[in-house]
Structure 1
Amino acid sequence: MNDRPAIDWVQEHRNAAARAAALAIALPPPSDTLQTVTYTSAGTTLIIGSAERALPCADQLCGVLAVTVLLTSPPSAAPQPLRAYSVMHCADIQVSGWLGAFDARWRDAGRGVMRREGKFDLVLDLSPEPLIEAHQKPHGYVAPGVSEAGIAAAIADLAQMIGEFEKPKYFKYKERLCAHSRNGQTGCNACIDICSAKAIASVGDLVRVNPYLCAGCGACTTVCPTGALAYAYPGAPYTGERLRTVLAHYRREGGLDPVILFHGAGQGSELVSMLHAHSEGAPRGLPARVIPMELHHMASAGIDVWLSAVAYGASGVAVVVTGAEAAQYADALEDQMGMAQEILSGLGYAGVHFQLVRATTAAGLGEALAGAPAGVAPLQPATFHVAQEKRNALDMALDHLFRHATLKPAHVPLPPRSPFGAITVDQGRCTLCMSCVGACPSSALMDSDNAPQLRFVEKNCVQCGLCANTCPEDAIALVPRMSFAGNANQAVLLNETQPFCCIRCSKPFGTVLMIQSMLGKLAQHSAFQGNLDRIRMCGDCRVIDMLQSQGTGDASKLR
């Protein structure tokens, strides 16, 4: 018995025609000027490997490039021909850098601890395991493995790498939005953890992205909770405009239940093209309602773009993973898809809307897309333009989805580590010291000028955890959720208390709870033994009291 649903071939042909019409629409490139990064190479090349592999490569390149060879095994005992390049037998080789700016360090084998170093423009690494472990290798560093064809291709490529080269600066960084760290406490490490090029590092409270190492995958911008890192090749507004235009034309031509299929350039595009070319009459071809859309890298678009696509009328979003990408990218996209699905399900949009398609062949891709998402989309497609700032783009998409939803919950619970939510404050433990306010990078927590109050704006919270990590009383807990409540963008009161006034000058300088806590913790401290009243004094009066007890000068002049 065949349980597969019958295909409506009339609608299938209509979908195919609608897709062709939609994809025929070409948008002009983004109007904003993209910054670039420049590399300069004079062709100074370092070749690393065993004698039997490295020396033949050096012989081929030495006529074009200035070559230095570091042998990881001793050369043959037979007499060696006179070579036009330097050859050294080395150990403990280390390499770092990028095209035109590689640093190498090594120890001469058999010479104790003698260390050497050098600077090179290019590196051909013939080691069994690459010396640079990053998944995305730096430009100018080639590690072809043991394949003869791969080595031949590497030699041909290196011979052309002399001169100046440019690549896009793929990202934009806004320091004011970064939630990485505050006051020595780590909050968000998402970009550092996911970068497969090892191009992002912690620098105090901020992060630094090395534009020369950045490979343009955009995964850091996808997982960034605040939008401090934004993708610029192209930016979200251009991708959003492509989505809006394509889906509008598809719908206008009579197409139904469209699915956007995001795929990266390279292997992803090859798989989609192969599947598309053999779709006609094939049982597992590219479904007519699936609309391919190429990105520079599959990880460069995330929840803000996906939810915008659904708001524009897409029944779902699928992303192709070919296996050539770093494993952490697929994990991150799955997490974001789970979060996006929770939001849509919580609003009453039935069905599955997101699919991570793992495929290494066109046939595997076709098999997976046979079950492409078919979720419910808003009856009225959105017309907004996707904003450059991530949180603003999400706000517009979520606002449209909520207004046209069948359910109107005040809050939708989300999985842990989601970048949206609230906090709870244990009022019995909170002393209103305001450490959390000083640590909050997104102005979600704030105090009051008029009274000891702790206030909170949920719309601003990115769930970085800095407030909870900073709190000396361990009084704060995170509550991941998506809020659709009317007061989500308003300051709500979490805790308040009476101010405590200095017992000498009556100036308010703290809270009753804070002073009570300090009395308990500092009662045995040498500075306050027998002088607990000093804890009840403001800073100025405390100093005056200490000087008077020591009989030092006229303390009144210190006021």
Structure 2
Amino acid sequence: MQEFIYYNPNGLDFPISEEILVTTNLKEIENKSFLISNTNEINSELTAREIDFYIKNSQDTISQKIQNVSKLYEIAATKYDFSQDISYDQEVSNQLLLVTNQKEQYDEFISCIDSKDFELFHINEDIIKSIDGHIGNLTVVVDDEGKDVKLQVSQIVWYNAKIEGMKQSGCFDPNTLTLSEVLKTIKENINSYSYKKITTYDKTICQYDSRREVICSKCEEVCPSVAITKDDETKTLTFSQIDCHGCGGCISVCPSGALEYTPTSRESIYEISLFYKETHPLIIPSKMNIENLDIELKENILPFAIDGEKFLDETMLLTIAQSSSSQIIFYTDFISKGTGDAIRILNDIYQAKYGKDAIIVASNKEELIEAINEVSFIETSYFNFNQSGLKKREVFSQRLQKIVGDENLGEVKTGEHVHYGLVNVDANKCTLCLVCVGACNVDALQADAKDNTLRLNPSLCTSCGYCEVSCPESDCLTIDRDVIKLEPMWFKENILAQDTLFACVECGKEFATTKSVQKIASIMAPIFASDPVKERSLYCCADCKPKIMMQNYYDKKIQGDTNAR
């Protein structure tokens, strides 16, 4: 069975690989399914629109086209293989709520529906107090003459809907879509609504989960729906996949990489980027209309199709840039907050090293033409390594280290939505209690028992600040925020503080750092000044401390009994 198929009623004017079935007649493949096709007219797991776009517009030679068409099919197959966007079904009943204050809108809606299609409820928006849930299970709380009444419905049609309504899945506004489009959608949803899992979440490296203070909740801030909600009391995040729009904006602002985009994960981006060596990647989100885009793609430009337009972060973009050894063209009419910061950071880095931008953004046809003429390869920028199993920051660190090498290229500022930073420690105040190490879940801060040091790898730091609020010493730990230093020491473990181990005055066993013992002794010694044994216990290990205290108690008791006689 062939997995790849190409359909065009006019055929092709050049040959392509035998691995791809070419047909000019849809009847020849009736009742057959394929893995990858170039059109949604064919039953396939994935439609790769970029194939026709490339064939129609590319200025590559015939031999290059033959190779690149096969490559585009392989890229689509790789994307499919690494995709984790599992599909789910949600039961949707015919219970429908119509929200409008105007009789004309009500009459218009009623005239367009069959009463048998829906169990219809109607209310004015003035009495709505809250909406909760998701399509198929929506709870609307209304004010009924001073009493709260709950309405359970599956879908809502709301004329001039307020923001809180449109954040829920299952709410539709005929003034945003047309009424006919809304009616078509809500009918199709009944008994056949499906959605996909768009994000995965690793709370072990999340900068919000289970922390004593709110350090980060960027994902919740940028989410346009109620797909991500937070509880500042318990410091937990909740993800509603059914309410997710699939934009991926949360991925690009997640500092640690705790969130992954299931349609195209970081691992998927890496595997796909391997196909782009010595080509100019042209990133095209699925929302961009390329079917009717007539434009000359100069030689070596290869489309890089993605789903959501907002999920690309600095690690993914740098992976594509280094794998291709080229500038990247990003054709999109919208740049998310996180991706925007990532592009600026990478462009600043590439300007410092190569004198060129890493990513050229084009938001319309005219800008795309300019970008196509401008895009070029960047000599010595190629770099690749097996990044499987590494965290987001670890991958970016290794890739950036290759750019910096032994040079000092200055520094770049990060930004409002993508953060890097440098931890500073006052070595005279640090007792090496290692609370900061425990607070860091991205391994930027480490303790080395071999030489009793506190160490920092600046390139891994997310500048979250949790180590700063956790440090028990006053003015001991501070952070220089939103900076990346393009110098070799940025990628190495720097010693922030060091101490010797203190030996127990009783048994000689080393049990704590000298500074920590001295600090506790300075606090407690005045309290124990009248009792030499208690004072001595401050310098004892955990085994000897109770021994000398119990011996002292016993000796005093015996002494007291003797006096009694």
The TM-score range, normalised by the shorter chain, is 0.7 to 0.9
- In the TM superposition, what is the alpha-carbon distance from 1:95 to its structure 2 partner? 1.1
CA deviations over 1:456-501 (Å, ceiling 9, x no partner): 3445433322212322333223353266638936x54321224456
Counterpart Cα distance in 1 of 2:448 and 2:394: 26
TM (normalized to structure 1)? 0.72
CA deviations over 1:394-451 (Å, ceiling 9, x no partner): 356446x53xx7x632675231455555422111332323221121112222334467
- 2:102 aligned with 1:72, yes or no? no
Counterpart of 2:87 (choices 36, 42, 45) is 36
Counterpart of 1:394 (choices 393, 396, 415) is 396
Structure 2 letter corresponding to 1:31: D
Q: How many residues align?
A: 482
Counterpart Cα distance in 2 of 1:190 and 1:206: 13
1:274-423 to structure 2, matched below 5 A, reads: 274=292, 276-277=293-294, 279=295, 291-323=302-334, 330-346=336-352, 348-357=353-362, 359=363, 364-367=364-367, 369-371=369-371, 374=375, 377-379=378-380, 381-382=382-383, 384=385, 387=388, 389=390, 390-391=392-393, 393-394=395-396, 397-398=399-400, 401-402=402-403, 408-409=406-407, 413-417=411-415, 419-420=419-420, 422-423=422-423
Q: Secondary structure at the match of 1:355?
A: strand
Counterpart of 1:481 (choices 480, 484, 507) is 484
1:426-445 to structure 2, matched below 5 A, reads: 426-445=426-445
- 2:109 aligned with 1:57, yes or no? yes
- In the TM superposition, what is the alpha-carbon distance from 1:335 to its structure 2 partner? 1.0
2:283–2:329: 8 Å Cα contact kept in structure 1? yes
- In the TM superposition, what is the alpha-carbon distance from 1:216 to its structure 2 partner? 1.7
Distance 1:485 1:106, change over 3 A: same
Partner residue in 1 for 2:467: 467
Partner residue in 1 for 2:152: 119
Distance 1:159 1:13, change over 3 A: closer
Q: Secondary structure at the match of 1:431?
A: coil
Counterpart Cα distance in 2 of 1:67 and 1:530: 84
- Please give the root-mean-square deviation of Cα atoms over the aligned residues, in Å: 4.1
More deviation in 480-489 or 115-124? 480-489
2:397–2:460: 8 Å Cα contact kept in structure 1? no
CA deviations over 1:282-326 (Å, ceiling 9, x no partner): xxxx66665443211111222222212221335322333425xxx
Counterpart Cα distance in 1 of 2:203 and 2:409: 30
- In the TM superposition, what is the alpha-carbon distance from 1:508 to its structure 2 partner? 5.8
Counterpart of 2:133 (choices 83, 89, 97) is 97
Partner residue in 2 for 1:261: 282
- In the TM superposition, what is the alpha-carbon distance from 1:519 to its structure 2 partner? 6.7
Structure 2 letter corresponding to 1:222: S
Instruction: Compare relative contact order (CA 8 Å, sep 6+) and give the higher one, 1 or 2.
Output: 1
Partner residue in 2 for 1:209: 239
Partner residue in 2 for 1:4: none
Counterpart Cα distance in 1 of 2:514 and 2:114: 77
Structure 2 letter corresponding to 1:67: L
CA deviations over 1:52-77 (Å, ceiling 9, x no partner): 1245425625321222212236xxxx
Structure 2 letter corresponding to 1:343: I
- In the TM superposition, what is the alpha-carbon distance from 1:103 to its structure 2 partner? 1.6
Counterpart of 1:153 (choices 160, 167, 181) is 181
Q: Secondary structure at the match of 1:131?
A: helix
Distance 1:305 1:187, change over 3 A: same
Partner residue in 2 for 1:79: none
- 2:170 aligned with 1:140, yes or no? yes
Counterpart Cα distance in 1 of 2:102 and 2:449: 73
1:58–1:67: 8 Å Cα contact kept in structure 2? no
Distance 1:509 1:132, change over 3 A: farther
Distance 1:450 1:313, change over 3 A: closer
1:237–1:385: 8 Å Cα contact kept in structure 2? no
- In the TM superposition, what is the alpha-carbon distance from 1:351 to its structure 2 partner? 1.5
TM (normalized to structure 2)? 0.71
Counterpart Cα distance in 2 of 1:119 and 1:554: 76
Distance 1:70 1:428, change over 3 A: same
Gaps of 5+ in 2: 1-56, 559-565
Counterpart of 1:26 (choices 73, 82, 100) is 73
Q: Secondary structure at the match of 1:446?
A: strand
- In the TM superposition, what is the alpha-carbon distance from 1:229 to its structure 2 partner? 1.2
CA deviations over 1:179-212 (Å, ceiling 9, x no partner): 3356403333332222222322346455332222
Distance 1:337 1:354, change over 3 A: same
Counterpart Cα distance in 2 of 1:523 and 1:118: 68
Partner residue in 2 for 1:78: none
- 2:427 aligned with 1:424, yes or no? no
1:96–1:102: 8 Å Cα contact kept in structure 2? yes
Counterpart Cα distance in 1 of 2:89 and 2:529: 65
1:37–1:167: 8 Å Cα contact kept in structure 2? yes
1:312–1:383: 8 Å Cα contact kept in structure 2? yes
Counterpart Cα distance in 2 of 1:544 and 1:66: 79
Gaps of 5+ in 1: 1-11, 74-90, 251-257, 281-285, 324-328
